[in-house]
Copies of this chain bind each other. A is one copy, B any other.
Amino acid sequence: MSLVIVGTVAFDTIETPFGKADMVVGGAALYGSIAASRYTDDVQLVSVIGEDFPQSELDYMASRGINQDGLQLKKGEKSFYWSGRYHDNMNKRDTLITDLNVLETFDPVLPESYKTAEYVMLGNLQPDVQMRVIEQMNKRPKLIIMDTMNFWMDIAMDSLKKTIAKIDVLTINDEEARQLSGEYSLVKAAAKILDMGPTYLVIKKGEHGALLFDKNNVFSAPALPLAEVFDPTGAGDTFAGAFAGYLAQTDDISFENMKRAIIHGSAMASFCVEKFSNERLKSLTTEELNARLETFVSLTSFDLVAAEVA
């Protein structure tokens, strides 16, 4: 099935305790579309770049079958740029620079060929911009997945809630779930957020894995315990891209299949953090990915034979 992915395609400068990567490629839609391209050959990218974005990276995405008809190139302008520094424990980061550049006036325009896509992944962007993508679809997609962040809860909660009301799967982290709902308990937070519109809620907990909720079920997915996280940038976007790509490939939006999609997303994200930028996703082989999926099975499997309680 075809999958529209909307979000940033950008430059990042990243400092971690392990080193510094200067002006490497990044962005939610870059990570997301590369991850999704492992699952479906009909990824349709919607984003904007400046004249400075390297052709080699566009060629790489094209080689993975990522359609770039919806990628706007702004002559004489610069791509979105983000710079950040991670703390020693890698769980926190400080933003050093955010240069919106082409993103400041970004108005997504969907090519005709995108407007009948069954699956849509809205990467983190201003909620009004995400809404304009939904509005351009010729028919209601089978599934709209939306990522967002605390920043929009701080400055655009009304717009955010309007967009959330239109989508099927919301992916946010635990602190964002608490902020959005006003509830500390994630179970209560999930109930309130599902009342806002989505059928499914994915709560990303970083090194603690992820939770999937619908009104009647909950699934707890582990994160792979890692000896070293080299650079967490893009892990959430990679997760979302693989999650969406898996669903688009299997075309099954049941709770059971969402569980599988989360495991695929978690496995793919566990590679992303091994190197800077999209390096590891580029070198990733099918065999490596399948082996890691098996690791997730062994990480969580147990059977309750021989239990006798009194």
A260 touching B187 by the CB < 8 A rule? no
How far does the alpha carbon of A308 sit from the alpha carbon of B249 in the complex, in Å? 8
Contact with B along A240-266 (1 / 0, CB 8 A): 000000100110000010011001100
Q: Does A1 contact B (CB under 8 A)?
A: no
**Which residue from B41, B184, B228, B264 sits with its C-beta under 8 Å from A88?**
B184
B260 touching A302 by the CB < 8 A rule? yes
A301 → B minimal CB distance (Å)? 8
User: Which of the 9-residue segments A50-58, A139-147, A216-224 touches chain B?
Assistant: A216-224
Chain A positions 269-310 with a Cβ under 8 Å from a chain B Cβ: 286, 289-290, 293, 297-300, 302-310
Q: A309-B39, A309-B286 are in contact. Are A186 and B225 (CB under 8 A)?
A: yes
Chain B minimum-CB-distance residue to A262: B302
Give how many copies assemble into the complex: 2
A310 touching B297 by the CB < 8 A rule? no
A250 touching B220 by the CB < 8 A rule? no
B228 touching A220 by the CB < 8 A rule? no
Contacts of A309 in B (CB 8 A): 38-39, 264, 286, 289-290
**Which residue from B259, B297, B300, B310 sits with its C-beta under 8 Å from A286?**
B310
**Which residue from B225, B260, B290, B307 sits with its C-beta under 8 Å from A303?**
B260
User: Which of the 9-residue segments A123-131, A162-170, A205-213 touches chain B?
Assistant: A205-213
Q: Does A132 contact B (CB under 8 A)?
A: no
Q: Does A226 contact B (CB under 8 A)?
A: yes
A264 → B minimal CB distance (Å)? 7
How far does the alpha carbon of A285 sit from the alpha carbon of B306 in the complex, in Å? 18
A98 → B minimal CB distance (Å)? 27
Given contacts A185-B228, A218-B225, 5 further A-B contacts (CB under 8 A): A185-B227, A208-B208, A219-B300, A220-B225, A293-B307
Binding site for B on A (CB under 8 A): 37-39, 41, 88-90, 184-188, 190, 205, 207-209, 211, 217-223, 225-229, 246, 249-250, 256, 259-260, 263-264, 286, 289-290, 293, 297-300, 302-310
